[in-house]
Amino acid sequence: MLKQKLCSAPILALPEGSKDFIVYCDASNKGLGTVLMQRDKVISYASRQLKIHEKNYTTYDLELGAVVFALKIWRHYLYGTKCTVMVGVAQ
């Protein structure tokens, strides 16, 4: 089952009106990554490498940067809807 999932292409869904969205954000010392989901279906993925000045940021600042990155690129989906943001800070 896992091998099949890893070898198959991810399937993206179209957003359904103004239903609630969930945005998952994470950051590392290499880059930022986010996933936009709605009703347990992936709508979109986004990631980017860190800029040179961002490599000195703390983990919390990088996580916040991932949230800002996600909200900026998906604002056309999220504007006027309820949105839950999940941030992956390991304790």
Kindly tell me the number of DSSP H helices and DSSP E strands found in the chain. 3, 4
Angle at 19 between CA 32 and CA 10, to 5 degrees: 50
Lowest mean pLDDT among 1-5, 13-17, 49-53, 76-80: 1-5
Share of the chain residues as helix, strand and coil, in percent rounded to the nearest 5:
35, 30, 35
Report pLDDT digits (tens) over 6-57.
556 678 888 988 789 999 999 999 999 999 999 888 999 999 999 999 999 9
pLDDT at 85 over 50: yes
The amino acid at residue 54 is E
Query: How far is Cα 36 from Cα 54, in angstroms, rounded to an integer?
Result: 23
Look at residue 91 in the predicted model and tell me its pLDDT.
Answer: 43
User: The pTM is what?
Assistant: 0.83
Look at residue 17 in the predicted model and tell me its pLDDT.
Answer: 82
- Which CATH architecture group holds 11-87? Roll (3.10)
Whole-angstrom Cα Rg for the chain:
14
